[in-house]
């Protein structure tokens, strides 16, 4: 691979994540660092989008009121339970944009405690600090925003159900996004009927706001382009300062050596990711790790250039028909968007 000898590799990075870094990272990702409700552009043909903006604004006002509590005698305030909003919709309808807008709108320009995390980051936070300590950490927050709310196993179902219930009781409001209705969380992935109590508890916390519309990432975009060759990928990577270059299977093996909560640190400072030898994945654990990496690359706005199979063929038909179907479709949507962003990277 000519010209690729000096390019950095993700497989050479072994990041560690301290508890302090986890807490400091409870903010919207770089892609959504400057969004607000006014920059969301509702599709005139999809009235649920404009309605969702209104519902989110009302949620912000109510969350602040609930956090302030109810005034009692002698200047004391009674703690009022928090409220919940659940943004449900397909891929690319702007759910994360609205969730980040909620985060920035809460408190306006004043400093108030609030958090923004993916579902995986929240479970990791509870794992690092411990269940009760995590409650104490977040108990005085006005709002906790949770992106990509998905329940992958019974342990997470029980953990998050109890964590969010405890926070709501303490006056914390919860905003979440997902493409699965609360009462359907876990469906097709484990024996959800055995955990109906937890799932119903979660559903009871939220007011569900449905957002309809096509995936904005694919508006006016052509289908997945023909991939470049391995040599072309290597040569282009060598032209981009801050880029990384990795072989697909080696990268997948490297992802297995660390918890997905480390993936943001893995790609920190990277300007573009170049990958050779992409092929269809048949192992679900490998596929789910690639989904997590894709989400973090998308959050950070890092373009992807890849050789081998087209990026819309990475996940097998069997996987796309299974319980994680929506995860794989979201990842495919994001990979295609990142690959189109990468078409001009490195002279391509």
CA dist., res. 115 & res. 107, Å (int):
12
Whether the Cβ atoms of residue 308 and residue 41 lie closer than 8 Å to each other: no
Ranked by mean pLDDT, which of 13-27, 209-223, 290-304, 313-327 comes out on top? Answer: 290-304
Section 123-143 average pLDDT? 91
Q: Parallel, antiparallel, or unpaired for β 84-89 and 207-211?
A: parallel
Q: Is the pLDDT of residue 54 over 70?
A: yes
In this predicted structure, what is the pLDDT of residue 217?
58
Instruction: Confirm if 66 and 173 have CB atoms less than 8 A apart.
Output: yes
258's tokens: 């660390």
Residue-averaged pLDDT of the chain: 85
Least confident of 91-105, 263-277, 304-318, 331-345: 331-345
What percent of the chain has pLDDT above 70?
Answer: 83
Judge whether residue 188 has pLDDT over 60. no
Sign of CA dihedral 107, 111, 116, 121: negative
More confident residue, 92 or 272: 272
Residue 184 predicted with pLDDT over 60 = no
Domains of the chain listed by start with CATH number: 10-16+217-347 (no CATH), 44-213 (3.40.50.300)
Instruction: Tell me the chain's radius of gyration from C-alpha atoms.
Output: 21
Share of the chain above pLDDT 90, in %: 50
Nearest to 96 by CA among 158, 33, 165: 33
């Amino acid at each position: 691979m000519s010209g690729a000898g000096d390019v950095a590799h993700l497989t050479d990075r072994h990041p560690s994540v301290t508890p302090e870094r986890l807490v400091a990272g409870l903010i919207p990702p770089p892609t959504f660092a400057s969004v607000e409700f006014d920059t969301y552009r509702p599709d005139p043909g999809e009235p649920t989008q404009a309605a969702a903006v209104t519902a989110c604004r009302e949620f912000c006002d109510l969350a602040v009121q609930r956090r302030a509590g109810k005034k009692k005698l002698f200047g004391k305030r009674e703690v009022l339970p928090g409220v919940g909003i659940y943004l449900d919709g397909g891929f690319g309808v702007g759910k994360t944009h609205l969730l980040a807008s909620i985060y920035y709108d809460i408190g306006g320009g004043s400093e108030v405690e609030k958090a923004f995390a993916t579902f995986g980051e929240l479970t990791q936070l509870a794992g690092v600090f411990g269940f009760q300590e995590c409650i104490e950490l977040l108990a005085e927050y006005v709002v906790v925003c949770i992106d990509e709310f998905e329940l992958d196993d019974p342990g997470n179902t029980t953990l998050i159900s109890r964590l969010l219930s405890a926070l709501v009781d303490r006056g914390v409001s919860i905003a979440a996004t997902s493409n699965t209705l609360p009462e359907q969380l876990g469906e097709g992935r484990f024996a959800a009927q055995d955990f109906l109590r937890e799932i119903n508890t979660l559903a009871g916390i939220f007011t569900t706001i449905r957002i309809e519309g096509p995936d904005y990432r694919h508006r006016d975009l052509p289908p997945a382009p023909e991939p470049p060759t391995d040599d072309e990928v290597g040569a282009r990577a060598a032209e981009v300062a801050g880029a990384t270059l990795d072989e697909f299977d080696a990268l997948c093996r490297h992802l297995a050596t660390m918890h997905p909560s480390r993936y943001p640190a893995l790609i920190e400072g990277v300007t573009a990711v170049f990958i050779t030898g992409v092929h269809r994945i048949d192992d679900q654990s490998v596929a789910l790790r690639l989904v997590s990496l894709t989400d973090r690359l998308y959050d950070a706005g890092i373009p992807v250039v890849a050789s081998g199979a087209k990026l819309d063929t990475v996940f097998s038909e069997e996987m796309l028909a299974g319980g994680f179907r929506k995860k794989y479709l979201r990842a495919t949507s994001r990979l295609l968007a990142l690959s189109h962003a990468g078409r001009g990277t490195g002279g391509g």
